[in-house]
Structure 1
Amino acid sequence: MKLVKNIELGDPSSNKQNFIDLKLKLLCCRYWLLDLWDCHDMVFPFWRLYWNKNKGGQLIHHENTYDMDPDYLYIIPPFTSFSSRFTKKHIYNSGIHVSGRQFNSNYDEKDYEENYLIHFFIHFNLGIPFDNVYPGILKIELTDYLKNRLTYLTERLKIENKDFKLTFNLKLQAFIKESLTSIGPELWKTINIDDRVLKVIRFIEINIEKKLSNPDLASLTNMAPNSFGRLFKQEMTITLHRFIQNRKIAKACDIFEHTNKTIEDVAFNLGFSDRYHFSRVFKLVTGLTPANYRSGKYT
């Protein structure tokens, strides 16, 4: 038997195909009973997918209020400023206040529908450039496929919420991807951004721990800093400086989620002059201090 070497990647066709590389990274997936969900002006560097089995939840984005319907999913892109509440127990008008507990197989959902918000949520990232789409709250109608997947995922989360088997992981990823297919094409404009901007974005991602200046980044494209700054703002609807801040804080959140590094270490590793500068930028981007973020008191 001879090893075939002449056919690139085993494809016998000469017709080249171009695929979009989606790097889905799961951060958390939980099924909770919430009795308080007063969260104001939250901004996080990851995607959020919400579904409530019963009514009473609200999401607020700018002047728009969404009464959460059990027949719909709600998807929130990274760096979207929004608020949430459980209308039956709305107490606070500022800050982030959440209380509840993990659903388990000992609970009968019917016993809790009246006084609790039955809340399913996923946090995830998609990678560059998809984590830089336009902010907003997206309402996605549940199809029969998504309903069946939700039933499976929520029932499994009642039994196991820590060490997930391969089947659960695959079905969870399929659920997220199927949900994303319902998003309109205008949201994905960033995949067609100017090659010069994309080159700089990739450089930023690889060198996120360094101090990155506008002139140095503009030089990668052989453009003057002001000209490149205008191009970047035009393509990404955000200034280059704010984009760098957002990506550094996104990286900081990832480090906090998966390591025990101190706030000082994270600040130093991401090129901030000191902890205080890092904390100011972190709160500017997320609305939380690094210490509050690490405490995990949000959903």
Structure 2
Amino acid sequence: MKFVKELGSGDPSINNQQFIDVKLKLLCCRYWYLDLWDCHDMVFPFWRIYWNKNEGGELKLQEEVYKMDPNYLYIISPFTSFSTRFLKNHKHNSGIHVSGKNLTQLHKEADYEDKSLIHFFTHFKLGTPFDNVFPGIFKIELTDHLKERLVYITDRLRLENYDFKLTFNLKLQSFIQEVLSNIGPQLWKTINIDPRVLTVHRYIERSVGEKLSNSELASLVNMAPNSFARLFKEEMHITLHSFIQNRKIAKACELFEHSNESIESVSYNLGFSDRYHFSRVFKSITGISPAVYKSGRYT
């Protein structure tokens, strides 16, 4: 047997191929019944997929209302300001108010479908640059194949809601990727970012815990601070300062989801002057306080 060293990828062709690296990171996946779903002006730094098994749920994006249809999935991109409600039990016109529990094998879904909203959701990130697409809600038809995948996922969530096995993780990732592939050009146009902006974007991701200045970032691509700030705004449709704040809060959300760090520790490690400054910025971006987010009292 001869070991071949010459071909690093094992590809015999001399034609280079360019692939887009999508770094899917799962944050949570749940299957609940909701008695109350009055959530207003929510903004979170990750992707969401929503599906309701029964009718009665609504999403609102600015003045557009989406009456959620069981035959469709709803994808919400990061930093989209949106609202939700369950029509059969609508009480609040502001704030975030959720009541419900995860469905298990001990529950008969038919007993809840008339009075509650049977709700599936998963949160995830895609990495640079796809976590910075334009805000929006995408409605995707639930094909027979996607429905088959969804039935498997929700059935497994009723059996196990914590320690997921490899097969479930692979099937969930495959489901998310297939759903995303149906969005179309609205998603993929994000790859056409000026390389100077993308260089700084990646640097911010690596250095999100530091205090980052416009002049420091502009120097990375040999540009004057004001010129780079204009270029960044043109490319990303957000100011450089706001982008940095968004990424810091995105990291904070990740730490709250996957660590036991205190609010004080997270604010310090992300370069904020104190907890109070951090809390003000966090609430201005997400619509809720760090304490509420950390407690998990949202959906």
Normalising by the smaller structure, the TM-score range is over 0.9
Partner Cα distance (1:204, 1:259) in 2: 22
Q: CA deviation at 1:184?
A: 2.0
State the secondary structure of the residue aligned to 1:10: coil
Partner of 1:146: 146
The answer to whether the aligner puts 1:288 opposite 2:288 as a matched pair is yes
The answer to whether the aligner puts 1:86 opposite 2:86 as a matched pair is yes
Partner of 2:44: 44
How many pairs were matched up?
Answer: 299
Please provide the CA RMSD for this pair.
0.8
The answer to whether the aligner puts 1:116 opposite 2:116 as a matched pair is yes
Sequence identity of aligned pairs in percent?
A: 71
Letter in 2 for 1:291: A
Q: Bigger shift: 50-59 or 264-273?
A: 264-273
Provide Cα deviations, 1:160-213, integer angstroms capped at 9, x if missing partner: 111111111111001000000111203322211000000000010111111001
Partner of 1:203: 203
Q: CA deviation at 1:91?
A: 0.4
Q: CA deviation at 1:231?
A: 0.7
Partner Cα distance (2:36, 2:82) in 1: 16
Letter in 2 for 1:119: H
Partner Cα distance (2:31, 2:265) in 1: 33
Partner of 1:106: 106
Q: CA deviation at 1:13?
A: 1.0
Are 2:130 and 2:187, in contact at CA under 8 Å, matched by a contact in 1? no
Provide Cα deviations, 1:85-122, integer angstroms capped at 9, x if missing partner: 00000001111110111111122222211100000000
Partner of 2:18: 18
In structure 1, the gaps of 5 or more residues are: none
State the secondary structure of the residue aligned to 1:7: coil
State the secondary structure of the residue aligned to 2:252: helix
What TM-score comes out, normalization by structure 2 length? 0.98
Partner of 1:298: 298
Partner Cα distance (1:205, 1:113) in 2: 43
Alignment of 1:131-280 (within 5 A): 131-280=131-280
Partner of 1:129: 129
Letter in 2 for 1:192: N
Provide Cα deviations, 1:196-240, integer angstroms capped at 9, x if missing partner: 000000010111111001111111111111111111111111110
Partner Cα distance (2:55, 2:135) in 1: 24
State the secondary structure of the residue aligned to 1:235: helix
Q: CA deviation at 1:149?
A: 0.4
State the secondary structure of the residue aligned to 1:114: coil
Q: CA deviation at 1:133?
A: 0.2
